[in-house]
Amino acid sequence: MFELDVATRHIRSRRRQTVFSIIAVSLAVAIIIIMMSMMSGMLSLMMESTIENQPHITVFPKENEDYIHLYHGLEKNILDREDVEAISSYFQGEAALQYKHSAEGVLLYGINPDDENRVVNREKDMLAGEFASLANPGSRIILGFKLANNLDVGIGDTVTAQIPGAEPTDFTITGIFQTGTPVDETIAFTNLERLQDFYGSGDVVTGLGVRLSDVYAADTIASRIDMETGYDAVSWIEQNSDILSLLKSSEGLVYLIYIIIFTISGFGIANILIMIVMEKVGEIGMLMAMGASRRSIMLIFLLEAGILGLTGVMIGWILGYVAALAIAAITIPIPPEMYFGMDHLPVEIELKNFITAGIFAMVINTLAGVFPARRASRMDPVEAIYSV
Amino acid sequence: MSDTYIIQIKDLTKIFGNGVEIRALDGVNLNIERGEFLAIVGPSGSGKSTLLNQIGILDTPTSGTILLDGVDVTKMSDKQRSITRNRQLGFIFQYHHLLPDFNALENAMMPLLISGVKSSRAREVASLMLHEVGLGDRMEHRPNQLSGGQNQRVAIARALVNNPSIVIGDEPTGNLDTKSSESIYELLRKLNREHKQTFILVTHDERMAAKTDRIIRLVDGRIAANSHNSV
Ligand SMILES: Nc1ncnc2c1ncn2[C@@H]1O[C@H](COP(=O)(O)OP(=O)(O)OP(=O)(O)O)[C@@H](O)[C@H]1O
Ligand SMILES: [Mg+2]
């Protein structure tokens, strides 16, 4: 294959220029691998955090009703379904919490801690105290850590809950939790029965949280519950549809950025090939005179683009891998309560990102080679030979 | 007939130009015998290079036919033309057009590699050819490490390596001093005798032309004289 011979010689005799175009490609590949790895990391972190910190399905009261009255029957109905792992009924109400001179508006959740822990593992979020302490129907309360900070309270302190039309009631703090989400500032948990008492609602709940074994079955199961029971069942996918669609649309934007970065590196390759073609006019004419077909001439320059591109891609893979590892290893000094409690940048090194970046780069580099290669292959041999 | 004449040119006309017409060749008729050593001379712009490029199937005529070994090359496809150039024709130009990134041996091998000969075999044949043109001791040198005359010898080895039946040269010594020109001419003449190949050379050098078998004189795209030398 003389085409490959000629192509490699052209590249080797132009070491300095080719090095630059290879660097451009490898930087592009590396940058994109880093971006993709961080995107993957961020995405799976958000998914994980969403799936772990929310019920997979939440069942709300029927339209125009405030409560689910016969919730024990509904619990049994839902628990009997396939893929349903656990269920937790809750009573939710707004209240003001007061401690000395400070007061904060909160959402009070009355739950049964064993049930709740099975649906969303609250125990793992506990900074202090135990979530299970709410099993006792006494006046106990567990606060988010920011809320506790705002009220300037700690474990053992007593806060006063107030709602319109009820006697203010004291709750003793038995735990403080931290999720790294806005919930830390707005939510407090109490015992379900105690809260029903406090609101004087009787044995009713305002919702049911459901945990599934297959999180992606949530939509189907939710709509089935919806249809069969008449209650309003919402899956986590539906509940987060805004974020999910935002992620989807930002993905499009990210791909646009990839294309721009690769196009810039592709221009580097096109540029050097155009230079070589212009410099080699006489040679190209002579190759044609010697019987090299137009296809062979085309192949020579496409091979050059391919060799430059492939070298760039392989170096870029290594650079990207090393850089992604390095970034993943850096501990970032952000307060842990921000960004889902992470103290590292979320980097997920996935083979598919390397393959995507590689293919992407090779396609664009080959396209970059097409124009100069066609130009070379369409030369008139006579003009080329006498062009000196 | 086609046994004696390796090249038969009939009414060959080549018109260049859009707008202003230039008749570079105007009804050329010419038969060339196998093994002839032929010179084409004429004033600048008379159509010598144009005629040579037609014979070399590097260009297509406006009208007329060229038979190489009895085959009409004006009707060939692009691909057939490439193959014919590779198998039947050898080219030497004023500028050697060696590939600067390859050494002398690799340059001489190139036509063989293009025709698909294995590189070990191509190496053998090309090395013999380089010895024949007197460059046996310069095979590893690159063009920029060789003199003008030496480069032209490499170009000659390259033109002959595929054992073509026709070798065409457009002022092959045009870039060389008198002494190197003469030795290149002697080399071509020797190769012509040894290989029995047909040589067609365009030259401005009347003394050199006088030493060929026949001189074709072109004026304004027509053959003005066709005279055999008696050597
Ligand atoms: N590609 C072209 N386009 C237009 N005109 C051309 C082209 N090639 C050659 N000509 C014209 O055709 C005529 C013959 O040119 P050609 O190159 O064959 O001359 P020549 O005899 O080789 O001259 P020289 O001795 O200077 O090399 C000239 O008038 C030239 O200007
Ligand atoms: Mg000329």
The three state secondary structure string of chain A is CHHHHHHHHHHHCCHHHHHHHHHHHHHHHHHHHHHHHHHHHHHHHHHHHHHHHCCCEEEECCCCCCCECCHHHHHHHHHCCCCEEEEEEEEEEEEEEEECCEEEEEEEEEECHHHHHHHCCCHHHEEEECHHHHHCCCCEEEEEHHHHHHHCCCCCCEEEEECCCCCCEEEEEEEEECCCCCHHHHEEEEEHHHHHHHHCCCCCECEEEEEECCHHHHHHHHHHHHHHHCCEEEEHHHHCHHHHHHHHHHHHHHHHHHHHHHHHHHHHHHHHHHHHHHHCHHHHHHHHHCCCCHHHHHHHHHHHHHHHHHHHHHHHHHHHHHHHHHHHHCECCCCCCCHHHCCECCCCCCHHHHHHHHHHHHHHHHHHHHHHHHHHHCCCHHHHHCCC
Ligand 1 atom index nearest CA of B48: 21
Q: In the predicted model, is pLDDT for residue B208 greater than 60?
A: yes
Which amino acid appears at position A25 of this protein?
V
Q: Count of alpha carbons within 13 Å of A17, Cβ hemisphere only?
A: 15
Judge if A374 and A279 occupy the same domain. yes
Give the pLDDT confidence of A201-237 residue by residue, as tens digits: 899 999 999 999 998 899 999 999 989 998 999 999 8
State the best of B16, B44, B48, B58 to mutate against chain A, taking most chain A CBs within 10 Å.
Answer: B58
Which amino acid appears at position A291 of this protein?
G
Q: Do B49 and A386 lie within an 8 Å CB cutoff?
A: yes
In a domain, A43, yes or no: yes
Per-residue confidence (pLDDT) for residue B14, from 0 to 100 = 95
* Contact present, B87 and B51 (Cβ < 8 Å): no
For residue B2, name the pLDDT band (cuts at 50, 70, 90): very low
Q: Do B78 and A286 lie within an 8 Å CB cutoff?
A: no
Give the pLDDT confidence of B152-197 residue by residue, as tens digits: 999 999 999 999 999 999 998 887 888 888 888 888 999 899 888 9
Which residue lies with its CA nearest to atom 5 of ligand 1?
B16
Q: Which two tokens stand for residue A295?
A: 């296809």
In a domain, A236, yes or no: no
Judge if A319 and A374 occupy the same domain. yes
**Structural domain tally of chain B?**
1
In a domain, A57, yes or no: no
- Chain A residues with beta carbon closer than 8 angstroms to that of B89: 289
Judge if A288 and A206 occupy the same domain. no
In a domain, B84, yes or no: yes
Rama region for A233: left / alpha / beta (φ>0; ψ in -120 to 50; rest): beta
Range of the domain at A42: 2-51+243-386
Q: Which two tokens stand for residue B53?
A: 């490029």
Q: In the predicted model, is pLDDT for residue B4 greater than 80?
A: no
Which CATH number covers residue B142? 3.40.50.300
Show the low-confidence residues of chain A (pLDDT under 50). none
Task: Report residue B121: phi and psi, to 5°.
Answer: -70, -45
Per-residue confidence (pLDDT) for residue B226, from 0 to 100 = 86
Q: CA-to-CA distance for A118 and A122, rounded, in angstroms?
A: 9
User: Is the full-model pTM beyond 0.95?
Assistant: no
Which amino acid appears at position A125 of this protein?
D
Per-residue confidence (pLDDT) for residue A262, from 0 to 100 = 86
Verify whether ligand 1 is closer than 6 Å to residue B48 (CB atom). Answer: yes
* Contact present, A139 and A171 (Cβ < 8 Å): yes
Q: What is the mean pLDDT of chain B?
A: 91
Q: Which two tokens stand for residue A71?
A: 């919730």
CB neighbour list of residue A329: distance below 8 Å, 6 or more residues apart: A344
Q: Do B86 and A290 lie within an 8 Å CB cutoff?
A: yes
Q: Do B53 and A287 lie within an 8 Å CB cutoff?
A: no
Give the pLDDT confidence of A301-314 residue by residue, as tens digits: 999 999 999 999 99
CB neighbour list of residue A58: distance below 8 Å, 6 or more residues apart: A207, A208, A209, A210, A233, A234, A239
Q: How far is CA A95 from CA A112, A188, A199, in A?
A: 19, 10, 10
In a domain, A27, yes or no: yes
Judge if A98 and A211 occupy the same domain. yes
Nearest to A5 by CA among B163, B143, B105: B105
Judge if A199 and A263 occupy the same domain. no
Q: Is A294 on the interface with B (CB under 8 A)?
A: yes
Separation in Å, CA of B214 to nearest CA in chain A: 25
Judge if A253 and A380 occupy the same domain. yes
**Structural domain tally of chain A?**
2
Judge if A76 and A153 occupy the same domain. yes
Ligand 1 atom index nearest CA of B204: 25
Per-residue confidence (pLDDT) for residue B154, from 0 to 100 = 95
Judge if A191 and A91 occupy the same domain. yes
Per-residue confidence (pLDDT) for residue A47, from 0 to 100 = 81
State the best of A2, A3, A379, A388 to mutate against chain B, taking most chain B CBs within 10 Å.
Answer: A2
In a domain, A56, yes or no: no
Which residue lies with its CA nearest to atom 29 of ligand 1?
B45
* Contact present, A372 and A365 (Cβ < 8 Å): no
Task: Report residue A90: phi and psi, to 5°.
Answer: -140, 155
Q: Name residue, tokens 């806060």.
A: A159
In a domain, A235, yes or no: no
Among A230, A253, A284, identify where a domain stops: A230
Q: What is the mean pLDDT of chain A?
A: 89
Q: Is A2 on the interface with B (CB under 8 A)?
A: yes
CB neighbour list of residue A110: distance below 8 Å, 6 or more residues apart: A90, A91, A92, A93, A189, A190, A191, A192, A193, A194, A195, A196
Average pLDDT of the segment spanning B99-109: 95
Per-residue confidence (pLDDT) for residue B19, from 0 to 100 = 79
Q: CA-to-CA distance for B38 and A32, rounded, in angstroms?
A: 64
Which amino acid appears at position B229 of this protein?
N
Output Rg (C-alpha) for chain A, integer angstroms.
Answer: 32
Per-residue confidence (pLDDT) for residue A165, from 0 to 100 = 81
Judge if A183 and A272 occupy the same domain. no
Per-residue confidence (pLDDT) for residue A117, from 0 to 100 = 93
Q: Which two tokens stand for residue A47?
A: 């998914």
Q: CA-to-CA distance for B229 and B38, rounded, in angstroms?
A: 10
- Chain B residues with beta carbon closer than 8 angstroms to that of A382: 53, 58-59
In a domain, B165, yes or no: yes
* Contact present, A309 and A286 (Cβ < 8 Å): no
Of the bound ligands, which one is closest to the alpha carbon of residue B43?
1
Q: CA-to-CA distance for B142 and A13, rounded, in angstroms?
A: 12
Range of the domain at B80: 35-60+75-215+222-228
Q: Tell me, rounded to whole angstroms, the distance of Cα A180 from its chain centroid.
A: 16
Q: A381: nearest CA in chain B?
A: B58
Q: Name residue, tokens 């001093």.
A: B177
Verify whether ligand 1 is closer than 6 Å to residue B174 (CB atom). Answer: no
Judge if A124 and A177 occupy the same domain. yes
Q: What is the 3-state secondary structure (H, E, C) of chain B?
A: CCCCEEEEEEEEEEEECCCCCEEEEEEEEEEEECCCEEEEECCCCCCHHHHHHHHCCCCCCCEEEEEECCEEHHHCCHHHHHHHHHHHEEEECCCCCCCCCCCHHHHHHHHHHHCCCCHHHHHHHHHHHHHHCCCCCCCCCCHHHCCHHHHHHHHHHHHHCCCCCEEEEECCCCCCCHHHHHHHHHHHHHHHHHHCCEEEEECCCHHHHHCCCEEEEEECCEEEEEEECCC
C-alpha of residue A369 to centroid of ligand 2, in Å = 34
Q: Tell me, rounded to whole angstroms, the distance of Cα A335 from its chain centroid.
A: 20
Judge if A113 and A169 occupy the same domain. yes
In a domain, B65, yes or no: no
Nearest to A55 by CA among A250, A259, A225: A225
In a domain, B121, yes or no: yes
Per-residue confidence (pLDDT) for residue A340, from 0 to 100 = 55
Q: CA-to-CA distance for A171 and A265, rounded, in angstroms?
A: 64
In a domain, A237, yes or no: no
Judge if A173 and A298 occupy the same domain. no
Per-residue confidence (pLDDT) for residue A110, from 0 to 100 = 94
C-alpha of residue A183 to centroid of ligand 2, in Å = 87
In a domain, B12, yes or no: no
* Contact present, A387 and A285 (Cβ < 8 Å): yes
In a domain, A146, yes or no: yes
Q: How far is CA B6 from CA B40, B90, B164, B169, in A?
A: 17, 14, 12, 17
